[in-house]
Structure formats: structure tokens, C-alpha cells
């Protein structure tokens, strides 16, 4: 089977498993999330704030799928993602806490009907768009929206999947097909898409 068809087959199997699992998780309580998630502001509430070492931009979260934020927090808590600060934060949260914080941070998820901006790189068409869309909006709640995300953060994430610092069976199979130039092109393309993810505004937490 050609590699592209194998990729689509893997995606289809994941989608089928999610469908069989039944309805998604209950919606979180955004007001409670606002109260318990204040520590998130130390990084995610500052425009263009950067992780100290290695240096890369902290991701924007407003407009993200709340389901994905929960999945990411669980991955940090379960050490499927390597980041000391995020592990400490996620370890302090229950599953319900995560849903509530995610509901507030995400606010209104970006719509998926915007046209793509610029020329779509071949690897986006072949590997990324089936889950993240050509316009960078995740097609299901568990798939992250990438539109307008910091390009250096997107590039760092792909490198971490390649190194095994982030563990995900689908991403692990895709990143092996990417060169450093591919990673740069994908990150810059998705970072340029609009409408874009945004940083949480501190005044909304006061």
C-alpha cells in the first residue's frame, strides 16, 4: 500500500475508534476554569512570551479546541510530553479541572470555513490537512487548530515528536517523513493562516 494511503488508513481507524467510543466529554465550566486556571496566565496570558530553554514561543490558546487542550494536559500529566513546568501544572489538575480550564482558555473555537492563505506546501497536502485542514483548523476536537499559531512553537512541536519527547502514534509515523526544511515550511504556512489563534487577555481574568 502506498505511504499516503497508509496514512489515510491510520487516520480513518482513529476516527472510527472515536466514533465508536460515543459522544465527547461533557462541556467544561468556563467560569470555574477562570477561577482555578489563573496560574496559566504566567505564560499563556503574555503576548509573545517565550519558554526559557530551549527558547520558543508559548502557544496561543484562545480559539483552540477545548478537547485538544484537555488531551494536551493529560499528555503532560502522563509524561507523554516532556516539559517540567507543564507536568507540574497538569499534575495538580483533576480531569474536571482540565475540562473547566480548557473551556475558559479556548473560549470560542475558530471556525473551519475560512479559505487557506498562501501556497499550500506539498507535505501539508500529503500529511497534515487530513486532520488539521488546509486552513489550519482541526477537523475534530481532538486535533489541534494550528491557524495563526507561533511558527517557532509549531516547529518545536514537530521536532519534539521526531525526538520522542512527545508521544503520539499518528504523529510519530508522520514526522519521520519530514526534513528540517519541511518542518520550517509547514510551521510558517500554518502560522500565516487566518483567522488566528490568540493569546489569553489578562484583563479577562480580573
DSSP 112: S
70: nearest Cα among 90, 87, 84, 88: 90
Is the bond leading into 28 cis (omega within 30 degrees of zero)?
no
Q: In degrees rounded to 5, what are phi and psi of residue 164? A: 90, 5
Neighbours of 185 (CB within 10 A): 18
Report if residue 85 sits inside a domain.
yes
65-117: pLDDT as tens digits? 999 999 999 999 999 999 999 999 999 999 999 999 999 999 999 998 889 99
- How many independent structural domains does the chain possess? 1
Q: pLDDT tens, 128-166?
A: 999 999 999 999 999 999 999 999 999 999 999 999 999
Q: Tens digit of pLDDT for each residue in 38-70?
A: 999 999 999 999 999 999 999 999 999 999 999
Q: Categorize the per-residue pLDDT at 11 as very low, low, confident or very high, splitting at 50, 70 and 90.
A: low
| Residue 20 is assigned to a structural domain of this protein | no
**CATH number (domain holding residue 198):** 1.10.760.10
Q: Is the pLDDT of residue 4 over 50?
A: no
Residues 183 and 32: their CA atoms lie apart, in Å, by 37
* Residue that wins the pLDDT comparison between 22 and 76: 76
Q: What are the cell numbers at 77?
A: 500529566
**Residue range of the domain that includes 100:** 29-205
Q: Does residue 14 fall inside a structural domain?
A: no
Residue 62's contacts (CB-CB under 8 Å, 6 or more residues apart) are 105, 106, 107, 197, 198, 199, 200, 201
| For range 20-42, the mean pLDDT | 78
Domain-embedded: residue 172: yes
10 Å Cβ neighbour count for 42? 12
Amino acid at each position: 500500500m502506498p505511504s499516503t494511503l497508509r496514512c489515510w488508513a491510520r487516520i480513518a481507524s482513529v476516527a472510527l475508534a472515536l466514533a465508536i467510543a460515543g459522544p465527547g466529554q461533557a462541556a467544561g465550566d468556563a467560569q470555574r476554569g477562570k477561577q482555578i486556571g489563573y496560574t496559566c496566565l504566567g505564560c499563556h496570558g503574555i503576548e509573545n512570551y517565550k519558554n526559557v530553554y530551549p527558547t520558543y514561543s508559548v502557544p496561543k490558546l484562545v480559539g483552540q479546541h477545548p478537547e485538544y487542550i484537555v488531551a494536551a494536559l493529560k499528555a503532560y500529566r502522563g509524561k507523554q510530553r516532556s516539559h517540567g513546568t507543564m507536568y507540574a501544572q497538569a499534575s495538580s489538575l483533576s480531569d474536571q479541572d482540565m475540562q473547566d480550564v480548557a473551556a475558559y482558555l479556548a473560549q470560542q473555537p475558530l471556525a473551519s470555513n475560512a479559505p487557506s492563505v498562501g501556497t499550500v506546501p506539498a507535505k501539508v497536502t500529503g500529511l497534515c490537512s487530513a486532520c488539521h485542514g488546509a486552513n489550519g483548523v482541526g477537523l475534530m476536537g481532538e486535533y489541534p487548530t494550528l491557524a495563526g499559531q507561533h511558527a517557532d512553537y509549531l516547529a518545536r512541536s514537530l521536532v519534539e515528536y521526531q525526538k520522542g519527547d512527545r508521544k503520539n502514534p499518528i504523529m510519530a509515523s508522520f514526522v519521520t517523513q519530514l526534513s528540517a526544511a519541511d518542518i520550517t515550511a509547514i510551521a510558517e504556512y500554518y502560522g500565516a493562516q487566518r483567522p488566528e489563534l490568540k493569546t489569553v487577555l489578562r484583563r479577562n481574568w480580573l
